[in-house]
Each structure stands twice: as C-alpha cells, then as structure tokens.
C-alpha cells in the first residue's frame, strides 16, 4: 500500500500543482501557484492529519484591530482559518484534513479555498499588513 506521502503527492500532481520542494523523510511539500494566490504553501503529512499552511503577512505590534478583522474574515472562509503563529506575529492560513479518508476532492477544495480567500480578500489583506 502506498504511503500517505505518496498519496498526497499523486493528488498534487493530478491537480497540476507545481511542487517546488519535497522532502520524503520529513513528509513535506511546498507548492507555488502564484496566479491562484498560492505562495510557498507548506503541505505536511503528520499522521493522522494533513496540514496546509501559507504565511500571509506579519502583524505590526500593537494592532489589535487587525486581529479582530481576521477573526471576522474567518467566518467567511470555506475551509481553513487565519491563525497567528505561536513564535511570531505572522498570520498564517491553516487547514487540516484527515489522512485516512483523504480524497482528491477534499484536497482540491482546501486549496481552492486558499485561492478564493486570497482573491476575494487580497486588497483587505494588503491593507491589514500595512496597518
């Protein structure tokens, strides 16, 4: 039986998502598809889940209004959410999926959600990052 890493890699290939980096030992991929708003999307196989993270921007110190707006935007995102990195003020878009039943439609929906979110909120995200 193929590993989850191989299964995810095949899904990325089927979805024609360019893999710019892969490490089978750490079970990590990085994909880029700038025309879809995907820039250094890290996809990690961490059994029992698949983790997808893309850094969006760093929040300037003392900008509580940015956090409030990000929480409001989370309610409009189909899959995943904006999260704050534990070690910095970086805003990351994160989604997780169960590996056991993972199929092509699920991973495609999550990646489409990132693309849609970046397209729909790009102007606002740029403004928040400059606040």
Q: What domains are defined for the chain?
A: 4-130 (3.30.1460.10)
pLDDT digits (tens, 9 = 90+) for 20-72: 999 999 999 999 999 988 999 999 999 999 999 999 988 877 777 888 888 88
Query: Is the bond into 39 cis (omega within 30 degrees of 0)?
Result: no
As a whole number of angstroms, the distance between CA 6 and CA 62 comes to 43
| SS3 state of residue 9 | helix
Instruction: Over range 112-123, report the average pLDDT.
Output: 88
As a whole number of angstroms, the distance between CA 84 and CA 59 comes to 9
Provide the whole-model pTM.
0.85
């Amino acid at each position: 039986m193929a590993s989850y890493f191989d299964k995810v890699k095949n899904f990325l290939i089927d979805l024609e998502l360019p893999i710019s980096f892969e490490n089978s030992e750490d079970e990590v991929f990085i994909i880029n598809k700038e025309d879809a708003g995907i820039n250094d999307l890290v996809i990690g196989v961490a059994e029992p889940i698949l983790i997808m993270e893309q850094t969006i921007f760093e929040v300037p110190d003392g900008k509580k209004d940015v956090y409030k707006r990000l929480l409001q935007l989370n309610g409009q995102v189909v899959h995943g959410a904006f999260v704050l990195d534990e070690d910095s003020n970086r805003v990351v878009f994160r989604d997780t999926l169960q590996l056991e039943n993972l199929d092509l439609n699920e991973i495609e929906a999550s990646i489409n959600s990132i693309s849609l979110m970046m397209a729909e909120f790009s102007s606002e995200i740029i403004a928040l990052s400059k606040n």
